[in-house]
Amino acid sequence: MVYLDYAATASLLPGVRKAMHDAEEKLFANASALHTPGHLAKYEIEKTRELLASYINAEPSEIIFTSGASESNNTVIRTFEGCQIETSPLEHHSIIETAQKYMGKKLPKLYSYMLVNNETGDILDLEKNVKEAREIEAPEKSELFEAKNDWGKPLVTDKKGGYVHSDLTQALGKVPIDVKKLGLDYATFSAHKIGGPIGIGALYVRKGVPFKPLIVGGNQEDKRRGGTYNTVGIVGFGEALKEIVKENSIEMYDKKIRKLRDTLANRILKEIKGSSLNTDLRRNKSAPNILNASFQAAEGESIQLYLDAEGIVVSTGSACAAGDTKPSHVLMAKTGDAEVAHSSIRFSFGLDNSMEDVDRVMEVLPGIIDRLQKISTIKMES
């Protein structure tokens, strides 16, 4: 099998699998308990918290463990319920749909912009959004500012009008992340994009910014997220973080994976009639591991199924929207062309991929596209 759907989920790393197996046997106790087994479990949780904080240049106390990126995104957006929320049409559904439901007209204002797009790999201009947020005048007194959080402190402790959140799910381990240098107030992470387990993620919350727990009813995470700790999942997340540090994954992606991605892109353009790219290949414009391409007069889901029959795994867009027959909202926002969106395929690489995988794709992809174009009712452009 040639697996090129790492942007949807990465395979569980062997070291992660072992660490989780050991945790299941030795760290089964409730990490909130006062007895020794509970303390041992809590100790391993805090080690992962410190690892992630160090990796993104944050304080351990600014890290909250969640069930994944969607929960983290929902937590931030719903903190600003009734307030002004600005985001882009390129965001993940867990941002767009939640913002549409909970946005209002009050200040303060939240800007939510991802760093790396999950469908095209494009790197967005966070610096511009942060600058705009910081230039907003401090808001007048509002209900949000009068509220108290579960710690009994004011919901807002610094005076500025705009706050910035970034979904860094696709950026972790692929491009450098420094939440302080980026100027972020909130940031979202997910373990299964870096070879960790599904069902565990994290949220960075800068000290002193607004915060309302999404899940209440427990003292976990300093009362910021109720529920028994997912110790095994958090240990797996920590092991995955160790692996990306050990393997110097950012450098590996920039050198090895970018070469694979760009080779595939250039061969597609050269060898397949009617092909085009939806990913900007320039180094500062896209992450190194994602390639989105469209094939005129060939339907994306058909391409995916034909490739799957050949043992090549790709996707037609965000896996979270699987089963939705509508064209990709990201590609519609970027190109405005439904045919381009419907004919798109996302190839996303991981560190296990090789040039042999690229060769295998190009052995079968041109024939698949040619076959689909010949039976298509869409007229090919000359």
Distance CA 266, CA 258 (A): 12
3-state secondary structure 168-221: CCCCCCCCCCCHHHHCCCEEEEEHHHCCCCCCCEEEEECCCCCCCCCCCCCCHH
CB < 8 Å & 24+ apart, contacts of 223-228: 223/150, 223/151, 224/64, 224/150, 225/64, 225/65, 225/66, 225/75, 228/30, 228/31, 228/32
Catalytic residue, chosen from 320, 333, 338, 380, is 320
DSSP string, 329-366: HHHHHHH--HHHHHTEEEEE--TT--HHHHHHHHHHHH
**321 Cβ contact partners less than 8 Å away, ≥ 6 residues apart:** 93, 328
Task: Say if CB 276 and CB 307 are below 8 A apart.
Answer: no
Peptide bond into 213 cis (omega under 30): no
Inter-axis angle of helices 355-375 and 258-271, nearest 10? 30
**334 Cβ contact partners less than 8 Å away, ≥ 6 residues apart:** 90, 120, 122, 278
Active site residue 83: no
Closest among 199, 193, 200, 206 to 65, alpha carbons compared: 200
Evaluate the CA torsion angle 158, 161, 167, 172 in order and state its sign: negative
Distance CA 119, CA 292 (A): 7
Distance CA 186, CA 207 (A): 10
Which residues are tagged catalytic? 320
